Amino acid sequence: MKIALILSSNDPEKNWNALRLANYAVTEGDEVEIFLLGEGVEYEKTSNEKFNITQQLDTLLKSGKAEIKACGTCMKSRNQSGSETCPISGLKELYELIASSDKVLTF
């Protein structure tokens, strides 16, 4: 199954739970794509001891079964540049992700 997760929050607990779900889905054999939108592009900055987003992210990326993309406009408005964990993308890719996924979840 292909699962799309759309993160539009910079709340550490929400994003930590979304990444935990993504990691679990990968262990079940699913393909996971994450799209960062709005405040979601700030997700890495909110990692802390209680909600270790960085650890969940590292596990997910090492699986080789997940991909992350981020809204370039949202990143630009926050003076962020792309990276491996937050690569620049656009609404066309978000649309294609939604259209090609079996399930779409938003956090």
Gap between the Cα atoms of 64 and 79, Å rounded:
29
Each residue's pLDDT tens digit, 39-69: 999 998 999 999 999 999 999 999 999 999 9
CA distance 41 to 75: 6
- Per the CB < 8 A criterion, the answer to whether 85 and 54 are in contact is no
Could you give all domains of the chain from N- to C-terminal order, each with its CATH number? Answer: 2-106 (3.40.1260.10)
Q: How far is CA 46 from CA 11, 40, 98, in A?
A: 7, 10, 26
Per-residue pLDDT of the chain (107 residues; tens, 9 = 90+): 999 999 999 999 999 999 999 999 999 999 999 999 999 999 989 999 999 999 999 999 999 999 999 999 999 999 998 887 778 999 999 999 999 999 999 99
Q: Residue 57 burial by CB count (10 A; 0-12/13-18/19+): exposed, middle or buried?
A: buried
